[in-house]
Amino acid sequence: MDGVIVLIELVVASIWIMQGFTYGFWKKGRPGGGFLGVIFGVLILIIALVMGIRMLIKRDFGKKIKLHITAFFPIFMGGGAAILSYLVGFIIALFAFLVGWLRFISKYSWTKTLLISVLFTLGLYAIFVMWLRVPFPTGVF
């Protein structure tokens, strides 16, 4: 995995350096828009190269990490809620997310699930919508 990360870093650093030069490294006797982008990019490039060369010499490309699919549930479910928010609105999508999670992942009873979801969503609505007037997406319906 370390090897992959180093490769990504090399690519990102190269892009930042090249783009940085297009914004201007030094213009009219002072730093241009790409000044720090180039410097930071070069810094990453050097470190990533040193790490990469070390890996090649030692033939050690980092430990193999075990990823649990369950760890990504928050991303799948949260991402699903974010997509749903375009259709039904943010607050309703969050309510649906809470219901879905508590019922099907946490395995709570419907009563407990609905009680927690309704109370929490109402709290969010009171604070963010009614008091702070945050304009959450309302969906297409």
Partner 1 sequence: MNNFQLLIQGFGTAFSFANIIAVFLGGILGLFVGAMPGLGGVSGVALLLPLTFKMNPTTAIIFLAAIYYGNMYGGAYSAILLNIPGDSPAVMTALDGFPMSTQGRAGKALFAANTSSFLGGSFGILTLTIFGPLLAIFGLKFGPAEVTMLILLALTSIGWLLGEHIGKGLIAASIGMLLSIIGIDNMSGGMPRYIFGMPSLLGGISFVPIVIGMFGITQVMELMEPSESESIVTGRRLTLRESILNKKDLKRMAAPIIKGAVLGNVIGFLPGAGGTTASFLAYVFHKKTSKFGEEMGKGAIDGVCVSEAANNSAAVGAFAPLLSLGIPGSSTAVVLYGGLMMWGLTPGPLLFTEQPQFVWGLIASMYIGNVACFLLGTGIIPFLMSILKIPKKIMIPVIITVCMVGSYAINNSMFDVWFMFGSGVAAYLLKKNDYPIPPILLAFVLAPMFEQSIRRAFTISQGSPLIFIQKPISAFLLAIIVALLVLPALINRIKTSRKSIGTEEK
Is 27 strand, coil or helix? strand
Q: Determine the residue type at 56.
A: L
Is 138 strand, coil or helix? coil
Contact between 61 and partner 1 by CB under 8 A: the answer reads no
Which residues, 83 to 102, sit near partner 1 by CB under 8 A? 85-86, 90, 94, 97-98, 101-102
Size of the site for partner 1 (CB under 8 A): 66
CB of 83 to partner 1, least distance (A): 10
The rounded distance, in Å, linking the Cα atoms of 7 and 109 is 47
Determine contact, residues 39/13, Cβ cutoff 8 Å: no
Determine contact, residues 101/94, Cβ cutoff 8 Å: no
Q: Which residues of the shown chain bind partner 1 in the complex (CB under 8 A)?
A: 1-2, 5, 9, 12-13, 16, 19, 23-24, 26-27, 29-37, 40-41, 43-44, 47-48, 50-51, 62-63, 65, 67-68, 70-75, 77-79, 81-82, 85-86, 90, 94, 97-98, 101-102, 105-108, 116, 120, 124, 128, 132, 134-137
